[in-house]
Structure 1
Amino acid sequence: MNIETLRWQNNHLEMIDQRVLPARFEYLSYDSAASVAEGIRAMVVRGAPAIGCAAAYGVALEALRLNKTAPETFRSGMEKGFANLAQSRPTAVNLFWALQRMRQVWEGMNAAAPAVVAERLLDEAHEVHAEDIRINRAMGAAGAALLADGAHVLTHCNAGALATAGWGTALGVIRSAVEAGKKISVIADETRPFLQGARLTAWEMVQENIPVTLITDNMAGHLMAHGEVDAVIVGTDRVAANGDVANKIGTYMVAVLARRHNIPFYVACPLSTIDLNIASGKDIPIEERAPEEVTGFRDCQWAAPGVKTRNPAFDVTPAELVTALITERGVVREPDKEKIATLFHQKQL
Structure 2
Amino acid sequence: MSNQQDHTLDLSIQRYEPLVSVRWTEHYELELLDQRLLPTQIVMERLTEVSQVWHAIHDMVVRGAPAIGIAAAYGVVLGALNDKAASPLEWLKSVNTHADYLATSRPTAVNLFWALDRMRNRASQLMTVSNIAVASLNELLLEEAVLIHQEDEEVCRQIGEHALSLFHDGMGVLTHCNAGGLATAKYGTALAPMYLAQERGIQLKVFADETRPVLQGARLTAFELQQAGIDVTLICDNMAAMVMQKGWVQAVIVGTDRVAANGDVANKIGTYGLAVLAKAHGIPFYVACPTSTIDLNTSSGELIPIEERHEREITEAFGSRTAPENIKVYNPAFDVTPNEYVTAIITEHGIVEPDYVTSLQDIMKRAALPIAD
Contact 1:66 1:114 in 2 (8 A): no
Contact 1:63 1:114 in 2 (8 A): no
Residue 8 of structure 1 pairs with residue 30 of structure 2:
no
Contact 1:102 1:124 in 2 (8 A): yes
Once structures 1 and 2 are overlaid, which stretch shifts more, 224-233 or 254-263? 224-233
2:296 corresponding residue in structure 1: 276
Percent sequence identity over matched residues? Answer: 52
2:334 corresponding residue in structure 1: 314
1:173 corresponding residue in structure 2: 193
Shift of 1:298: 5.5
Correspondences of 1:169-208 after superposition (within 5 Å): 169-208=189-228
- CA deviations on 1:171-190 (whole Å, 9 max, x unpaired) are 11211122222101110000
Contact 1:246 1:314 in 2 (8 A): yes
Match for residue 102 of structure 2 among 85, 91, 98: 85
- CA deviations on 1:216-238 (whole Å, 9 max, x unpaired) are 10000011111111110000000
Correspondences of 1:76-225 after superposition (within 5 Å): 76-110=93-127, 112-225=132-245
Shift of 1:166: 1.1
Contact 2:95 2:123 in 1 (8 A): no
1:348 corresponding residue in structure 2: 370
Distance 2:303 2:125 in 1: 31
2:70 corresponding residue in structure 1: 53
Match for residue 23 of structure 1 among 26, 36, 40: 40
Q: Output the amino acid matched with 2:42.
A: F
Shift of 1:66: 2.4
2:311 corresponding residue in structure 1: 291
Shift of 1:195: 0.3
State the 4+ residue runs in structure 1 displaced beyond 4 angstroms.
70-73
Corresponding residue SS for 2:23: strand
2:282 corresponding residue in structure 1: 262
Structure 1 length-normalised TM: 0.97
Shift of 1:23: 1.1
Contact 2:85 2:94 in 1 (8 A): no
1:302 corresponding residue in structure 2: 322
Contact 1:67 1:118 in 2 (8 A): no
Residue 234 of structure 1 pairs with residue 266 of structure 2:
no
User: What's the RMSD between the two structures over aligned residues?
Assistant: 1.3
Distance 2:239 2:276 in 1: 14
For structure 2, the 5+ residue unaligned runs are 1-16
Q: Output the amino acid matched with 2:249.
A: V
How many residues are paired up? 349
Distance 2:319 2:97 in 1: 35
Shift of 1:12: 0.3
Shift of 1:348: 2.8
Distance 1:285 1:139 in 2: 26
Q: Output the amino acid matched with 1:193.
A: P
Q: Output the amino acid matched with 1:331.
A: I
Contact 1:319 1:335 in 2 (8 A): no
Distance 2:125 2:107 in 1: 26
Distance 2:342 2:172 in 1: 18
Corresponding residue SS for 1:14: strand
- CA deviations on 1:191-235 (whole Å, 9 max, x unpaired) are 001100000000001101101111110000011111111110000
Distance 1:335 1:134 in 2: 27
